[in-house]
Amino acid sequence: MSDLEQKAQDASSVITPAELHGLVCGFASAGVQEFSMSDFVALAGADALSDENAVGEFVSASLDVLYAQDMEFSPLIPDDDEVLSVRLAGLSEWCAGYLSGFGAAASGTSVKALPVDVQEILRDFASISGLDDDVEGDEQDESSFMEIYEYVRVAAVLALTLMNDDTASDAGE
């Protein structure tokens, strides 16, 4: 178990690590200037989260990786040693969490006001969040999963960059 996954489990016993990580990443990627812990707790539900310190440590660790310049970001989903259906369910949960977090942080912003590439990413994440995890796990399924996973990994960083650029250009006008 990774350190980040342990922090996620410490932060909530109700929300899966994948969904919780997606919530944090989506919430942080919506172009808001500062991550509001109180708004995040309200979104996740205070009763679904454990103590404030555990949640703060998880959010901080998640943001450190998301904002890192080394492109080492990856969605927190079950490890490669899990069967494909479990990893696919985790990726679907991550995307659903991301959409919830993004939507909450960007509330009041029209989807049409978002950069076109971000609109496409959000549509793709919505499709991925609804994928059927009933897969056989053969080599082709595994290959397809890896392509989708890599897309989500890169798209999350791209959305963050585009939204930060969009927010910066709006502030400069």
Best CA proximity match to 94, nearest among 75, 78, 112: 75
Tens digit of pLDDT for each residue in 31-65? Answer: 777 888 999 999 999 899 998 899 999 999 999 99
| Amino acid, res. 42 | A
Phi, psi of 40 (to 5 degrees): -65, -45
Whether 93 and 18 have beta carbons less than 8 Å apart is answered as yes
Task: Identify the structural domains of the chain with CATH numbers, from first to last.
Answer: 3-172 (1.20.120.740)
- Return the minimum-mean-pLDDT range out of 49-53, 120-124, 156-160: 49-53
Tens digit of pLDDT for each residue in 5-38? Answer: 999 999 999 999 999 999 999 999 997 778 889 9
Give Cα separations from 95 to 41, 92, 99 (angstroms). Answer: 19, 5, 6
pTM for the model: 0.93
For the residues 83-90, what does the mean pLDDT come to?
94
Question: What percentage of residues in the chain have a pLDDT greater than 70?
Answer: 95
* Residue 34 token pair: 């500062």
* Residue tagged 């056989």 (tokens): 136
Chain centroid to CA 62: 10
pLDDT score of 79: 92
